[in-house]
Structure 1
């Protein structure tokens, strides 16, 4: 099952995709695993044994609490998906259990890939001057990949603000299986483009 659309998917088409998507397409033992520290996930032997590859990108996007708060707002409004070839409905709430579609244009047709928010984490320590906000989403039936992806923004103890993407995935359809090298390249390209979209929002 693949959800295709020949024009930019409308809200109604995205809703229909979500209704048909059903449940998660990866094992419950890995549910929420993307909330772990990056090094822990990269060293998780059970993930690698089950065929999952970890993808990670982390970029410095500014400094100071104001930048952090603006970055947090960017994630909450899906500005990190503000691309010509990929988007998420900006009205989608960042809440655990919410289902949504990532819409991606590949050559001619658009792909609608259903996911569900698995968790939302926020931490703040005013005494130490650090803060972080992030959320992880898991793939549903009909997604070309199986796994999770976390987007987060962090203010560290050096007053620097970092944008991070962390995911683990494996092919869930023969199209992604035969084209997995291309999928991995697209993940890296998305990370670069998404970081630029966040920086653009922060500098606006």
Structure 2
């Protein structure tokens, strides 16, 4: 049984993002051509992008599937934050691969985030992160305006890790 902590399940897949949350949108080119697209898609959905960025990931499946439970653990300086999530949608399409996951109880935030790789008509491989969130824990509320800064730092780090994975072939 799903125990997601927000009602707008799936909003990162089709939009629009719901009001009342901080919105995050990050897009970066990570490669070119079908081979890079396939490599990037596999790295995203098999948790390699997260792990290569230094994030600890414990997932109930080897590849993102709807219903997969995930515990993501990120270090910020001397602090480590663990974020329980659940995959709420996936895309394994000809020109789009990725997934969205939502927050579960004990996540410091409340909301949803997606990680998607697209193959554009010109051959560019784009990595996109789209998210909506608001504080759910006392320490996320206390951190206030630093949380969006940390989120932007994190998604930039993910994009850099994905670019490295793709360029390594």
Structure 2 CA distance for aligned equivalents of residues 83 and 70 of structure 1: 16
| Greater C-alpha Rg | 1
Per the TM alignment, residue 177 of structure 1 is displaced from its structure 2 partner at its CA by 1.0
Residue-by-residue CA offset, 1:48-102 (whole Å, 9 max, x unaligned): 2xx2111010001111101101111111221221223x22137643111011101
Residue-by-residue CA offset, 1:7-43 (whole Å, 9 max, x unaligned): xxxxxxxxxxxxxxx811112xx01111015xx33xx
Query: CA RMSD, aligned part only?
Result: 1.6
Q: Which residue of 2 aligns with 1:99?
A: 69
Q: Which residue of 1 aligns with 2:131?
A: 167
Aligned residues: 165
| Residue pair 1:92, 1:100 contacting (<8 A) in 2 also | no
> Given the alignment of the two structures, is residue 76 of structure 1 paired with residue 27 of structure 2, yes or no?
no
Structure 1 CA distance for aligned equivalents of residues 125 and 164 of structure 2: 14
> Given the alignment of the two structures, is residue 148 of structure 1 paired with residue 112 of structure 2, yes or no?
yes
Residue-by-residue CA offset, 1:158-181 (whole Å, 9 max, x unaligned): 111101101000111121112121
- Which structure has more strand as a fraction of its residues? 2
**Structure 2 portions without partners, runs of 5+:** none
Q: Which residue of 2 aligns with 1:66?
A: 35
Q: TM (normalized to structure 1)?
A: 0.76
> Given the alignment of the two structures, is residue 117 of structure 1 paired with residue 87 of structure 2, yes or no?
yes
Question: Of 26, 29, 51, which residue of structure 2 is paired with 1:57?
Answer: 26
**Structure 1 portions without partners, runs of 5+:** 1-21, 42-46, 125-130
